[in-house]
A = this chain, B = another copy of it.
Amino acid sequence: MSRSTKKEKFFEESLKLIHEKGYKATTMRDIAEKLNFKVANVYNYIDSKQALLETYLFDISNEFLESIELIMESSYAPEEKLRLIISVHVQMISKKPYELSLLVNEWRNLDEPKRGELIYLKMKYNKKVREIIIAGMEQGKFRTMDPDIATLSFLSTLRWLYDKFTDKSDEHSKANRIEIEKQLTDFIFLGLGNR
């Protein structure tokens, strides 16, 4: 097993464990056992359990924020911006479904002050989406509706996607990813209704 692969394997397996059992329910001994070594050795890979969680959450959060900031600063129209956001989400989820799962489910297990920092990042992200939606309404491109509910609904639709990619019961190809993006975009802009 090559050099960096060992550390990668560690982060990969730990991530999956935390995803499936939850952060609090996953013990350092669980992680060690999954990797076929003893507890003490875990600390050659990471400083603490808390640091492990932080790594996953902030890495993925920052990656997300960078994307949305680029989109925000572009001159695309609101509708195009939302399309891009959907696209980024689907790409991200197809590449890092377990990280996304943690971001949804485990952020509150962060200790302060990291917890506050992450909440701040999340709020920042939500506000940007909200701005885009409001802009779209003002330009008459989106239906006029409560901006909070619109934002919440939009984001909710994207949040649960990781389910489809962490679920081992079926396989997903790249072609599938593109199709999912289309399906989602249609749902968000057109809804379930027929015309």
Q: Which of A129-161 contact B (CB under 8 A)?
A: 133, 136, 140-143, 145-146, 148-150, 152-157, 159-161
Q: When chains A and B are docked, how far (Å) is the Cα of A141 from the Cα of B157?
A: 21
A45 interface residue (CB < 8 Å to B) = no
Interface residue SS majority, chain A: helix
Nearest opposing residue in chain B for A152, CB measure: B160
Contact with B along A159-195 (1 / 0, CB 8 A): 1110110000000000000011001101111111110
Most central of A22, A136, A140, A191 by chain B CB within 10 Å: A191
For the complex formed, measure the closest distance between the CB of A27 and the CB atoms of chain B, giving whole angstroms: 11
Which residues of chain B come closer than 8 Å to A160, judged between CB atoms?
152, 155-156, 159
A82 interface residue (CB < 8 Å to B) = yes
Contact of A183 among B149, B154, B190 (CB under 8 A): B149
Residue numbers of A with Cβ under 8 A of B are: 21-22, 24-25, 79, 82, 105, 108-109, 133, 136, 140-143, 145-146, 148-150, 152-157, 159-161, 163-164, 179-180, 183-184, 186-194
Given contact pairs A141-B194, A190-B191, a sample of 20 additional A-B residue pairs in the complex whose CB atoms are under 8 Å apart? A21-B108, A22-B108, A133-B192, A136-B192, A141-B193, A142-B192, A143-B191, A146-B183, A149-B187, A150-B183, A150-B187, A152-B161, A152-B163, A153-B157, A153-B188, A154-B192, A156-B160, A187-B191, A189-B191, A189-B193
